[in-house]
Structure 1
Amino acid sequence: MDLKVLEPFPRAEISDGVVPVTGTVKAPSGELLGELLLWVSDGSLSALEYSWYSDEAPVGLPDPLNVTVAVER
C-alpha cells in the first residue's frame, strides 16, 4: 500500500528503503502468517508492505492484536 504524508511535516533522518522495524503476523493459534514492512523515501513513510507466507493472498491487513513489532539492530 503506497502512503503519502501531507505537507508540512518534519522529515526523518533515515535512509531510503525498509525501516529497521518488522511486524510479525501470527494467527491466534500461533501459526506464522507473514510480516509487515514499512518503507521510507526522502524522509517520510512511503509504503506499507504485507508479505504473507501462504499460497493464498490475504484479503486485508491483519488484526493489530496479531502483530508483534520488533526493532532490528
Structure 2
Amino acid sequence: MEEAIRKPDPFDGQRTLPKPQDKREACRLKGRSTIPRDLNHEERTLLALLLSGDWLGAAEARHQLETAKHARHWFEGSLSFDLAIDPHLPLVPVSDGILEPTDRLVYHREALVGGVMIWVCGGRISSFEYYWSTDDMPTALPASHQIETR
C-alpha cells in the first residue's frame, strides 16, 4: 500500500485560538475544541470582503487570511466562528478587540437585520461575528451585496 503524500501544514501542529477575554468567553470556549478545517468558499469570500481596503494592519490581516482555518462555531446554530491562524505570520498592529474597518451592517431588502465584524486577539484575526437585530437568528451568511459600511 502506498503511503499518502501530505501537504506541509503551515500550523506545524500548533493552533492559535483566541484567548478568553473574560469568564463568559472562557465558558464559551471550554470543551469546544475541534480540529480546524479549511474555510469554505463562502466564508473566505466574506472575510476577504471585510478585510478589503487600505488601513493600518490590512496587509497583515489579509496575509493571515490566506492560511486561516475555521476553528469552531461559537455555539450550535451560530454563524459566528473562531479562526485558527498560523502563529508564524506577521501580527496585525492593532489592539485586541473589534477590528474597526471590518465592522459592517447587514441589510435585507433595505431593512437593517444585523452586522458582521472580525475580532483580533494578540495581533491575529481571531473570530468572525455575525450578530442580528431581528427576532430570529440568521441561518445563512450574508451575501456581499447585503453588507454596507457604517
**Distance in structure 2 (CA, Å) of the matches to 1:55 and 1:32:** 12
TM-score when normalising by structure 1: 0.85
Q: Which has the higher contact order (CA 8 A, sep 6+)?
A: 1
Equivalent residue, structure 2, for 1:53: 133
- 1:16-64 C-alpha deviation (Å, 9 max, x unpaired): 111113111001x201010002100010100011110111001121111
- Is residue 26 of structure 1 aligned with residue 107 of structure 2? yes
1: distance between equivalents of 2:135 and 2:88?
41
Q: Which one has the bigger helix percentage?
A: 2
Partner amino acid, structure 1, of 2:104: G
Q: CA deviation at 1:8?
A: 2.4
Equivalent in 67, 79, 85 of residue 5 of structure 1: 85
Give TM-score, length-normalised by structure 2.
0.44
Post-superposition, which runs of at least 4 consecutive aligned residues in structure 1 deviate over 4 A?
none
Gaps of 5+ in 1: none
Query: Which structure has greater strand proportion?
Result: 1
Larger Rg: 2
Q: How far has the Cα of 1:4 moved from its partner? A: 1.3
Q: Aligned-residue CA RMSD in angstroms?
A: 1.2
Matched length: 69
